[in-house]
Structure 1
Amino acid sequence: MYGREDLVEEMTRDDCWRRLRRTHLGRLAMGHGPGIEIFPINYTADGQTVYLATSVGTKTAMVGVSPWVAFEIDGADDGWTWSVVVKGPLRRLVRSADLEVAGELGLRSAAPGVKDQLMSIDATSVTGRRFRSAL
Structure 2
Amino acid sequence: MENKPSPPTVEVLEADDCWRLLRGVALGRLAVWVDDHPELFPLNFRTDKETIVFRTAPGTKLSAALEGKPVALEADHINGRTNVAWSVVVKGRAAEVEQTEEFRTNVAQLLFPWSPGPKDLFVRITPDAITGRRFTIAPPQTWEITLDNATRAGFE
How would you bin the TM-score normalised by the shorter chain?
0.7 to 0.9
SS in 1 for 2:23: helix
Q: 1:86 to 1:132 in 2, by over 3 A?
A: same
> 1:31, 1:66 within 8 Å by CA — same for their partners in 2?
no
Gaps of 5+ in 2: 140-156
SS in 2 for 1:19: helix
1:121 paired residue number: 125
User: Runs ≥4 in structure 1, deviation > 4 angstroms?
Assistant: 1-4
2:49 paired residue number: 47
Q: 1:64 to 1:15 in 2, by over 3 A?
A: closer
Q: CA–CA distance in 2 between the matches of 1:88 and 1:81?
A: 24
| Deviation sequence 1:4-31 (CA, Å, 0-9, x none) | 5x51110121111111111000000001
Q: 1:94 to 1:46 in 2, by over 3 A?
A: closer
Gaps of 5+ in 1: none
Q: CA–CA distance in 1 between the matches of 2:70 and 2:93?
A: 4
Q: 1:35 to 1:98 in 2, by over 3 A?
A: farther
1:52-131 aligned within 5 A:
52-77=54-79, 78-96=82-100, 99-100=103-104, 101-103=106-108, 106-131=110-135
Q: How well do the aligned residues superpose, as a CA RMSD in angstroms?
A: 2.2
Q: 1:49 to 1:34 in 2, by over 3 A?
A: same
Number of aligned residue pairs:
133
Q: CA–CA distance in 2 between the matches of 1:15 and 1:33?
A: 34
After TM superposition, the score normalised by the length of structure 2 is 0.75
| Bigger radius of gyration among the two | 2
2:153 paired residue number: none
SS in 1 for 2:117: coil
Q: How far is 1:2 from its partner? A: 6.3
1:10 paired residue number: 12
Query: Does 120-129 or 29-38 show the bigger shift?
Result: 29-38
> 2:66, 2:96 within 8 Å by CA — same for their partners in 1?
no
Question: Which AA in structure 1 matches 2:137?
Answer: S
Q: 1:98 to 1:71 in 2, by over 3 A?
A: farther
